[in-house]
Amino acid sequence: MPNPPPLVPSSPSPFPVRACGTAALKLPVLGVGCFSFGGGAYWGDQSQRDVDEVIARALDLGVNFFDTAESYNSGASELALGAALKGRRDAAIICTKIQPDHCYRADVRRHCEASLARLGTDHVDIYMIHWPLNANSLKHYTEDAARLAQPPAIGEALLAMDELRREGKIRHLGISNFGVAQLAEALAVGVPLALNELPYNLLARAIERELLPACARAGLGVLGYFSLAQGLLSGKFSGFDELPPIRVRTRHFRGDRPGSRHEGPGCEGETLTALNQLRTVADRAGLPLGDLALAWAISNPAVTCTLVGARNRAQLEANVRSAQTPLSPAIRAELSRITDPVLEILGAGTDYYQSATNSRSW
């Protein structure tokens, strides 16, 4: 099967599009994160009717990029997305991701084809390795001692994925959560890469220091996720204890909170101070904090596309409004200054869930 032609959106988008580095691919600056689709323990129940409405409305508005993964709700996210895109597949750009413990050469094809089946398509536009290939990553997906002792090599994973690309089952290859050194290792394999998917928001700016410049030098686009810090930047919560426990496990919070893995002191005081100051700017601007935070992330031209989840049509339309919010250079600079203390404490490490000594990304 020959490689398909470069992907072109089927209808004009109301959003600017940005090139993914040197790849023959452009994405809208706003994309839909599909982690909640299908329902599951992390985000709770999610009706297919709402998913259908989100996808239909997104496509009508030109928001045609959708990011999912085989691990999201044990494949239910891919199933829900595929069902919602039935009859409109050609209008969408789909990214899905393979778990690190499935990246052995003998496993890649089977898992890719299983994702294609769940999505109801014969090809996926972007196929990514979800986390770097090391034991710290794999242990979140498997207890297999043999796999933990010998994780898959980046070369075998990317070469197996590239075979599927040349067959037309994948249009573009990507990586996710790869740090500077891991990015260099992936590039050394010699297969074409289009994107690195990385966490980025006002309170998670680590990629600004080293990774954004490294991706630019390598000709890769950057897909930003975690854009509202799982609700922390939405403006819906006045204190940390109002957040579900599963969402207070990052290095922003104390390491003695339930479920935390980083065991560090966190920076709760600095984070809370920054949030209060951000709310003041939002009030002055007459905008919800979430609008301001998402507009800030999108305004960075080094980030190709910013992902945000949408549980229903109203949330999707709110995200679209945020993406269309003009942000002056002065306000962007002010927001960055407010969150500089958090950046200084958390540093350049992009694994916000684990400490530098057991990080999955380096």
- CA dihedral defined by 28, 29, 30, 35, rounded to 10 degrees? 90
Type of residue numbered 90:
D
185, 220 contact by CB (below 8 A): no
- Judge whether 53 lies within some domain: yes
Domain count, the chain: 1
Q: Which residues contact 218 (CB under 8 A, 6 or more apart)?
A: 21, 183, 187, 193
**Is the per-residue pLDDT at 5 higher than 60?**
no
Q: Span 40-58, mean pLDDT?
A: 96
Residue 311 region by backbone torsions, left for phi larger than 0, else alpha for psi between -120 and 50, else beta: alpha
- Judge whether 127 lies within some domain: yes
Q: Span 5-10, mean pLDDT?
A: 38
Q: Span 248-272, mean pLDDT?
A: 96
CA–CA separation, 248 and 31 (whole Å): 24
For the chain, strand residue ranges (E) read 17-19, 26-28, 30-33, 65-67, 93-98, 124-129, 170-176, 195-199, 221-225, 305-309
- CA angle 302–307–309, rounded 5-degree value: 165
Give the pairing type, strands 17-19 and 26-28.
antiparallel
Q: Span 221-239, mean pLDDT?
A: 93
* Confidence (pLDDT) at 7: 38
**Is the per-residue pLDDT at 4 higher than 70?**
no
Type of residue numbered 184:
A
Neighbours of 215 (CB within 10 A): 26
Which range, of 4-18, 65-79, 308-322, averages the lowest pLDDT?
Answer: 4-18
Q: How confident is the model at residue 251 (pLDDT cuts 50, 70, 90)?
A: very high
* Confidence (pLDDT) at 1: 38
**Is the per-residue pLDDT at 12 higher than 50?**
no
- Judge whether 253 lies within some domain: yes
pLDDT digits (tens, 9 = 90+) for 80-109: 999 999 999 999 999 999 999 999 999 999
**Is the per-residue pLDDT at 6 higher than 70?**
no
- Judge whether 233 lies within some domain: yes
Residue 49 phi/psi, 5-degree rounding, is -60, -45
* Confidence (pLDDT) at 3: 43
* Confidence (pLDDT) at 14: 57
- Judge whether 49 lies within some domain: yes
Can you give the residue range of the structural domain that contains 88? 17-358
231 class by beta-carbon count within 10 Å (0-12 exposed, 13-18 middle, 19+ buried)? middle
Q: How confident is the model at residue 33 (pLDDT cuts 50, 70, 90)?
A: very high
**Is the per-residue pLDDT at 9 higher than 50?**
no
Q: What is the CA radius of gyration of the chain?
A: 19
* Confidence (pLDDT) at 236: 87
Residue 314 region by backbone torsions, left for phi larger than 0, else alpha for psi between -120 and 50, else beta: alpha
* Confidence (pLDDT) at 267: 97
> What 3-state DSSP class applies to 282?
helix
Q: What is the CATH number of the domain that holds 126?
A: 3.20.20.100
* Confidence (pLDDT) at 231: 92
pLDDT digits (tens, 9 = 90+) for 274-330: 999 999 999 999 999 999 999 999 999 999 999 999 999 999 999 999 998 889 999
pTM comes to 0.94
Q: How confident is the model at residue 156 (pLDDT cuts 50, 70, 90)?
A: very high
- Judge whether 160 lies within some domain: yes
Give the pairing type, strands 221-225 and 305-309.
parallel
Contacts 24+ apart (CB under 8 A), 268-276: 268/240, 270/341, 270/342, 270/345, 271/203, 271/232, 271/342, 272/239, 272/240, 273/341, 274/202, 274/203, 274/338, 274/339, 274/341, 274/342, 275/203, 275/232, 275/233
Q: How confident is the model at residue 238 (pLDDT cuts 50, 70, 90)?
A: confident
CA–CA separation, 216 and 220 (whole Å): 6
- Judge whether 4 lies within some domain: no
Residue with structure tokens 């819906």?
Answer: 236
Residue 146 phi/psi, 5-degree rounding, is -65, -40
Q: SS3 for 105-132, per residue?
A: HHHHHHHHHHHHHHHCCCCEEEEEECCC
What is the rounded average pLDDT for all residues in the chain? 94
- Judge whether 2 lies within some domain: no
CA–CA separation, 342 and 81 (whole Å): 35
pLDDT digits (tens, 9 = 90+) for 174-199: 999 999 999 999 999 999 999 999 99
* Confidence (pLDDT) at 239: 85
